[in-house]
Amino acid sequence: MRNRNYRLLNQAAVAIVLFIAVAGCERDLSDEATFATFPTQPDIFTDNPIGLTDEFFISFDPAIGANTEAFDTDNSEAYEGSSSIRIDVPATNDPNGGFVGGIFLDRGEGRNLTGYDALTFWAKGSTTATITGVGFGSDFVEDKYTTVRSNIQLSTNWRKYIVPIPDASKLTQERGMFIFSADPGSTNGAGFVFWMDEIRFENLGTIAQLRPSIFGGEDLVEQGFTGSVRQVTGLGAKFNTATGGDVTVAPSPRYFDFSSSDTSVAFVNESGLIEIIGEGTTTITAQLNGVLAEGSLEITSAGAFESAPTPTRPESSVISVFSDAYSNIPVDYYNGFFTPDGQTTQGGATPVGPNESVISYTDLNFVGIGFFNNVPSVNATAMTHLHVDINVQEAINPGDFLRLQLLNSVGNNESSGVFTINGTELESQEWVGFDIPLSDFAGLADRSQLGLLFFISDTTISNIFVDNIYFYQE
Amino acid sequence: MKMILKNNYVKLLLVVSLFIMGCNTDETQTVTNFDNLVLEDNFDVDGQIDTSIWNFDIGNGAEQGIPGWGNNELQFYTDRTENVTTENGFLLITARQEAFNGSQYTSARLQTKGKFDQRYGRFEARMRLPYGQGMWPAFWLLGDDSDGEIWPQVGEIDIMENTGDKPTEIFGTIHGPGYSGAESISKLYDLQNDRVDTGFHIYGIEWGPNYINFYIDDVLYNQLTPEDVADETDGEGQWVFNDRPFYIILNIAVGGNLPGPPNADTVFPQTMLVDYVRVYTE
């Protein structure tokens, strides 16, 4: 029984176990002492799959368009030996699915990859197409340590490709040996073939100068409220390689150690989920393998968000643009960022609690919510009113105003109407609800194809929250 | 180092190795041990460079009559602590991207001219190099020209050069009359499973009458002799390394003919760490 376990041990582990046996002579050596000894087999595919499941390729779900017919091995092409993996990347309009991809899964309990620094493979294409992504660490169960290098440019000769391991010390028991995804995006929708061979983990010794990043390397500043959550996004790990210059991979959050400078304001879990729990300011940063990541998020939490009153009208008489109380119409954007037209307004929809969000605008001069471009416009002929809740986040001065403008049939026989709310009708730091008859939008003759709602302050009011924007029938 | 290097290292490597194999140099090689330490700088005093050993070259080379230091290099050398200092037992030469006296980059170059010049011996330094496109660190020797003789007659021995876009490759080179600049005699060494910017390596030469051995760590990767020079230059080149004492230079150049300019991926600042410089005689 024990002997069988020992066979899996590497020499270092044997030494440790022996040391324990000598030093701790009072205790009998238990089977539990033989942990962390998964196979270190580096090869994934040479001429055959190595140590992989019988059906070693597991495709992405055909329901999302993955073509399961596109994967095969090829005994007439090989970089080394006699066989390679052949991928027939389908055309965009292939009835069997317009992309190909999936994973290779280890047959056993997983492998110990801590001694390697990169996944490497050789590939060549029938044309100089680009493969969407290649990597490892995905097992279609937990996907804990997924790492993907995007946009692999093929050559029509065999060429070696490297996917650096962000932090190999994490990979003590990994089943996700290989993941790839390819579509004809780089070939104008036409299918192509590529071959892969000699897929393995290696300890190159030349993967160095790690530069990790979160939030795409940007230092972001955001407002938050107790109970709301954010995801750390834009994860990257840039390495310098021996002959290929810098190579960047996208690691999963689990490779990073996240931290919050004030854990009474917010904390981050190992999946990169930020939870705001109190009032104050905190900065979210991260390290990857001991190296501080570029990029951060400074969150200022004003404590619990004071919500707007929950709407009570029945859903059947409402067309909702933005409200947690209703199912909303799809929109193009909550902030069109018409910067070339002089817009200064920042912000948009933002979470303020569990399952709760508002629209927050800062530096307001004007801003549009669009629902006409890639989504249906709104036929509001049966509707009588527009409802909107507004909470001004600053002192209100004489002369301040907020003008609402509705546009019908945007850009094509367009018409529009405006309604002005005087500053005296608004409150600072308090929600005020408005029910505006659509007939009060002077100049809006037709409302069968509403597509844009503007908030215009001409900088008299700079910071507002907006919630519960919906058309309704009285 | 001093002039354009663009020769075909692969070709040279082949020629040199054929020569060595063909002539059984080993049988006639004189084995000498250079174990008498005559110069040692361990850079052990923080923030202080020993000026009894080192001079600073300053500027972009224009004052010396070779703008761009003869290679269209982009840096302005200074002796500011931002570019050169000692810390924790290391000499730090740091290349920075900054507008300075008309240049876009600053760096430093130390040399021992007039303070330590020697003919023959073992010259070695333990160093960790910078990385990135455009970096050109070097540890090299120039022949003393105080008798009025000029380069390349004075000779040049590049103990170690590297370009930062190739972090696994270093090369050792000699320049002399008939084999200078683009025609210099050089050999590349490619580190296996290792890099020059992640750890320290010892770069050195063993130099005696009619031979120079180039090594990295415990690997002797090239020997050059007057026969090599004759072979490389069809008998035109002259071995000038028995003639005069040479002095030591340590620097990082930025850009220039050999590495090309830095690009968007190049990270600044970049620092070369030197643990020690040691020179031995027989």
pLDDT of residue B21 exceeding 50: no
Residue A267's CATH number:
2.60.40.1080
Minimal-distance CA residue of chain A relative to B133: A245
B198 and A208: CB-CB below 8 Å?
A: yes
B168: closest chain A residue by CA: A242
- Identify the domain boundary among A304, A335, A357: A304
Residues A292 and A354 in one domain: no
Contact check, Cβ <8 Å, B168/A242 = yes
Question: Are A255 and A222 contained in the same domain?
Answer: yes
What chain A residue is nearest to B165 in terms of C-alpha separation?
A245
| A203: closest chain B residue by CA | B193
Q: Where are the domains of chain B?
A: 36-281
Q: Which residue of A has its CA nearest to B264?
A: A246
Question: Contact, A98 vs A183, CB < 8 A?
Answer: yes
CATH architecture group of domain B36-281: Sandwich (2.60)
Residue A1 included in any domain: no
Q: A264 by DSSP, 3-state: which?
A: coil
Q: What does the pLDDT look like over A27-59, one tens digit per residue?
A: 555 555 555 579 999 999 999 999 998 888 999
The residues near A284 (Cβ < 8 Å, ≥ 6 apart) are A214, A232, A258, A259, A260, A261, A266, A268, A274, A296, A297, A298, A299
Task: Tell if the CB–CB gap between B195 and A205 is shorter than 8 Å.
Answer: yes
Question: What's the average model confidence in pLDDT over B101-123?
Answer: 97
Does residue A11 fall inside a structural domain? no
User: Could you give the CA distance from residue A98 to residue A68 in angstroms, rounded to a whole number?
Assistant: 10
> How far is it, in rounded angstroms, from Cα B184 to Cα B152?
10
Query: What is the model's pLDDT at position A37?
Result: 79
> What is the pLDDT, as a whole number, of residue A66?
95
Give chain A's mean pLDDT.
91
8 Å CB contact of B132 and A240? yes
Q: Which of A208, A211, A245 sits opposite B195 (nearest CB)?
A: A208
Interface test with chain A among B163, B168, B189, B197, by most A beta carbons within 10 Å: B168
* Chain B residues bordering chain A (beta-carbon distance below 8 Å): 131-133, 165-168, 192-195, 197-198, 265, 267
A326 lies in the same domain as A447? yes
Residues of A in contact with B192 (CB under 8 A): 205
User: Do A450 and A333 share a structural domain?
Assistant: yes
Check whether residue A352 and residue A386 sit in a common domain. Answer: yes
A52 found inside a domain: yes
Residue B15: predicted pLDDT: 41
Domain range for A435 is 315-472
Instruction: Indicate whether B16 pLDDT > 90.
Output: no
For the beta carbon of residue B233, count every other beta carbon within 10 angstroms.
16
A63 and A151 in a single domain? The answer is: yes
Span A122-160, pLDDT tens digits: 999 999 999 999 999 999 999 999 999 999 999 999 999
Task: Give backbone dihedrals phi and psi of A209, rounded to 5 degrees, phi first.
Answer: 60, 50
Residue with tokens 């103990």: B159
Question: SS3 of A276, please?
Answer: strand
Task: Specify the pLDDT at position B78.
Answer: 98
Chain A residues in contact with B195 by the CB 8 A cut-off are 205-206, 208, 242
pLDDT at B1: 52
Per-residue H/E/C for chain B: CCCCCCCCHHHHHHHHHHHHHHHCHHHHCCCCCCCEEEEEECCCCCCCCCCCCCEEECECCCCCCCHHHHCCCCEEECCCCCCEEEECCEEEEEEEEEEECCEEEEECEEECCCCCEECCEEEEEEEECCCCCCEEEEEEEEECCCCCCCCCCCCEEEEEECCCCCCCEEEEEEEECCECHHHCEEEEEECCCCCCCCCCEEEEEEEECCEEEEEECCEEEEEECHHHHHHHCCCCCCCCCCCCCEEEEEEEEECCCCCCCCCCCCCCCEEEEEEEEEEEEC
Instruction: Determine, for residues A206 and B265 on separate chains, whether the beta-carbon distance falls below 8 Å.
Output: no
A330 part of contact set with chain B, CB < 8 Å = no
* Identity of the residue in B131, B166, B193 whose CB atom sits nearest the CB atom of A205: B193
Min mean pLDDT across A419-433, B23-37, B162-176 is at: B23-37
> Is residue A20 domain-resident?
no
Q: Is the pLDDT of residue A87 over 60?
A: yes
Residue A242 and residue B195: Cβ atoms within 8 Å? yes
Residue A168 has phi, psi (to 5 degrees) of -65, -20
Please say if the pLDDT value at position A296 is more than 80. yes
Domain for residue A25, yes or no? no
Of chain A, the percentage scoring pLDDT greater than 90 comes to: 85
* Distance between CA atoms of residues B277 and B119, nearest Å: 16
- Tell me if A14 is assigned to some domain: no
Same domain? For A56 and A191 the reply is: yes
Categorize the per-residue pLDDT at B131 as very low, low, confident or very high, splitting at 50, 70 and 90. very high
Asked if B267 lies within 8 A of A204 by C-beta distance, the reply is no
| All residues at 6 or more sequence positions from A188 whose CB lies less than 8 Å from its CB, including other chains | none
Query: Is B244:B72 a contact under the CB 8 Å cutoff?
Result: no
> With contacts defined as CB-CB under 8 Å, which chain A residues touch B167?
206, 208, 240, 242
Asked if residue B212 has pLDDT above 60, the reply is yes
Active-site residues of B, by number, are 156, 161
Task: Give domain status of residue A468, yes or no.
Answer: yes
Distance from CA of A207 to the nearest CA of B (A): 9
Cis peptide before A62 (omega within 30 of 0): no
Q: Tell me the pLDDT tens digit for each residue of A172-196.
A: 999 999 999 999 999 999 999 999 9
Using the Cβ of A420 and the Cβ atoms of chain B, whether some distance falls under 8 Å is answered with: no
In order of A346, A432, A458, the CA distances from A423 in angstroms are 21, 11, 13
A145 versus B3: which is more confidently predicted? A145
**A207: which 2 tokens?**
């993967």
Q: Judge if A426 and A283 occupy the same domain.
A: no
* Residue-wise pLDDT tens digits, A57-78: 999 999 999 999 999 999 999 9
Task: Sort residue A13 into left (φ over 0), alpha (ψ -120 to 50) or beta.
Answer: alpha
Tell me the chain B residues in contact with residue A246 when contact means C-beta distances shorter than 8 Å: 265
Share of chain B above pLDDT 70, in %: 89
Contact A246 B265 (CB under 8 A): yes
pLDDT at A392 over 80: yes
Mean pLDDT of A279-301: 97
Is the minimum CB–CB distance between A403 and chain B shorter than 8 Å? no
**Residue type, position A145, single letter:** Y
Q: Which CATH number belongs to the domain containing residue A333 in this structure?
A: 2.60.120.430
3-state helix, strand, coil in chain A (%, to 5): 10, 45, 45
Check whether residue A82 and residue A108 sit in a common domain.
yes
Given a cut of 50, whether residue A86 has pLDDT beyond it is yes
Is there a contact between B100 and B76 (Cβ–Cβ < 8 Å)? Answer: yes
Q: How many CB atoms lie within 10 A of CB A237?
A: 25
Q: How confident is the model at residue B164 (pLDDT cuts 50, 70, 90)?
A: very high
Chain A, residues 141-160, CB within 8 A of chain B, namely none
Considering only alpha carbons, which residue of chain B is nearest residue A208?
Answer: B198
Q: Which residue of B has its CA nearest to A117?
A: B193
pLDDT score of A31: 56
Residue type, A358: V
Contact A242 B131 (CB under 8 A): no
Shared domain for A158 and A57, answered yes or no, is yes
Chain A residues in contact with B265 (beta carbon < 8 A): 245-246
A-to-B residue pairs, Cβ atoms closer than 8 angstroms = 35
Q: Which of residues 157-196 of A touch B (CB under 8 A)?
A: none
**Which one of A243, A248, A289, A291 would you mutate to disrupt binding with B, by most B Cβ within 10 Å of its Cβ?**
A243
Average the pLDDT over A255-261 and give the result. 98
CB of A248 less than 8 A from some CB of B: no
Instruction: Compare CB distances from B193 to A204, A211, A246 and report the shortest one's residue.
Output: A204
Domain count, chain A: 3
Share of chain B above pLDDT 90, in %: 87
